[in-house]
Amino acid sequence: MEDLSLHILDIVENSIEAKASKIEIIINEDVKRDLLMIKIKDNGKGMDEETVKKVLDPFFTTRTTRRVGLGLSLLAQATKESNGNFEIESKVGKGTEIKATFQYSHIDCKPIGNIKDTLTTLLVAHPEIDFKYEYKNAKTRFSLDTKKVAL
Ligand SMILES: Nc1ncnc2c1ncn2[C@@H]1O[C@H](COP(=O)(O)OP(=O)(O)OP(=O)(O)O)[C@@H](O)[C@H]1O
Ligand SMILES: [Mg+2]
């Protein structure tokens, strides 16, 4: 995948698949700390500990249509390639939180890409879901909550 906005689209698809009604996407570009952070949080069905341990295995999937599940392992790989870190926390019946960090200045750190397209795609395809989006850098802060605006 070329850029992070496509990874985000992919990870949010997991949340949708997990029947989330609320999905939060947070991007923090912290140039001072040389850190790019992406967080995706949902209130979907969650996973038990056993499943969480297996999700980074590209051959683990609960899909029945294909035998591989690449979304999470590709994102985890992208973090490793840029000296970052990948964390996943999940509770059955509660939801899942994914945190991916990247060394901002690393030559292999992927660009964020077209986050506008990612958000538009998600919002238009899933008007029933409450999406929260927050973007922060040293100078600006932008946030959006689909429950609070009329589209
Ligand atoms: N947010 C989530 N909530 C609940 N389960 C999840 C979530 N994200 C991932 N999973 C579980 O982890 C598995 C692996 O996810 P991953 O995105 O790596 O692959 P996939 O979704 O199965 O396939 P692909 O992303 O390649 O279409 C999923 O099949 C699902 O069982
Ligand atoms: Mg997936």
pLDDT at res. 151: 55
Q: Quick one: which H or E segment has residue 62? A: none
Domain ranges of the chain: 4-145
Residue 150, pLDDT above cutoff 70: no
The predicted-structure confidence for 100-122, as pLDDT tens digits, reads as follows 999 999 999 999 999 999 999 99
Res 136 pLDDT > 60: yes
pTM, rounded to two decimals: 0.94
Tell me the Ramachandran region of residue 94: left when phi exceeds 0, alpha when psi lies from -120 to 50, beta otherwise.
alpha
Which among 45, 35, 39 has a CA at the least distance from the CA of 7? Answer: 39
Q: What pLDDT is attached to residue 149?
A: 65
pLDDT band per the 50, 70, 90 thresholds, residue 65: confident
CA dihedral 61, 63, 67, 69 (to 10 degrees): -40
The average pLDDT across 64-83 equals: 89
d(CA 139, ligand 2 centre) in Å: 33
> Region 83-92: what's the mean pLDDT?
97
* Domain 4-145 annotated CATH 3.30.565.10: yes
Residues 126-131, mean pLDDT to the nearest whole number: 96
Would the CB of 18 count as within 6 Å of ligand 1? yes
Which of helix, strand or coil describes residue 28? strand
CA of 82 to the centre of ligand 1 (A): 23
Determine the residue of 8, 12, 17 to mutate for testing ligand 1's pocket, defined as the one with the most ligand atoms within 8 A of the Cβ atom. Answer: 17
Give the distance (Å) from ligand 1 centre to CA of residue 127: 22
- Name the residue at shortest CA distance from atom 6 of ligand 1: 14
